Structure formats: C-alpha cells, structure tokens
Amino acid sequence: MAANTDDIRASVSKDIAALQQEVSRLQKMISAQGAEAYYEVRGRAGKAYDEALPRAKNAVAQIRAEGAAAAGAAREHAAATTTALVLAGAVGFLFGYLLSGNSQPQPRHWWH
C-alpha cells in the first residue's frame, strides 16, 4: 500500500509541476500581449497628439486674433460698448426679477 501511496504522490507532484509550468507559460504570454497592447495604444495616442497639435495651435492663433480685433473695436466704440453692456445687464436684471417673482409660492394664511 505504501508503494501505491508513493506512486499517487509522485503522480500528483508531476501534475502540479506541469500545471505550474503551464501557468508560468500563460503568464508570460499574457504579459507579452499586454505589453504589445500598451505600445500599440501609446503609438496611436502619440499619433493623434501629433495630428491634433497643429490644429490646436492654429485655433489658438485665430482666437487671439479675434480677441484682439474685438478689443480694438471696443476701444474704438467705447460709448456703444458701454451702452450695450448696460442694456444687457438691465435686461438680465429685469428677467431675473420677473422670474423670481413667479417662483415664490403664494402665502397661506392661517384661516385657509
């Protein structure tokens, strides 16, 4: 019976060793695939960044130019700019005042 137990232990030990080797092989394979996917995604992101950079620089330049033009127009027409801002503020205040008056609940008296 001792020989049978030794044979079973040896067989189980061999199976465990084979499983350990298989797990190690699978870990290496998964690691390699993960690294490959990482470098692929990294390359795509770098390419997208390189393609978007000139467009972003162009957009920033256009925004700066339009901002400078708007500031120049506001300096040239200071009275019109001030009138437009005051009018916009007054309309906003009136609109807010009207909305706040409509949103308040009606008072309830104790006799109702």
Contact 83, 90 (CB under 8 A): no
Q: Where are the domains of the chain?
A: 1-100
Q: What does the angle CA 16 – CA 19 – CA 21 come to, to the nearest 5 degrees?
A: 110
**What does the DSSP 8-state code read for residue 13?**
H
What would the two tokens of residue 20 be?
């350990």
Rg, Å, the chain Cα set: 38
Q: H-type helices in 77-110, by residue range?
A: 78-103
Tell me the pLDDT tens digit for each residue of 10-44. Answer: 888 898 999 999 999 999 888 888 888 888 989 99
Q: 68 or 109: whose pLDDT is higher?
A: 68
Q: What is the pTM of this model?
A: 0.42
**Confidence (pLDDT) at 102:** 64
Residue 1 has pLDDT above 60, yes or no: no
Q: 13 or 101: whose pLDDT is higher?
A: 13
**How far is residue 99's CA from residue 92's CA, in Å, rounded to a whole number?**
11
Q: Which amino acid is at 83?
A: T
Tell me the pLDDT tens digit for each residue of 47-96. Answer: 999 999 999 999 999 999 999 998 898 888 889 889 999 999 999 999 98
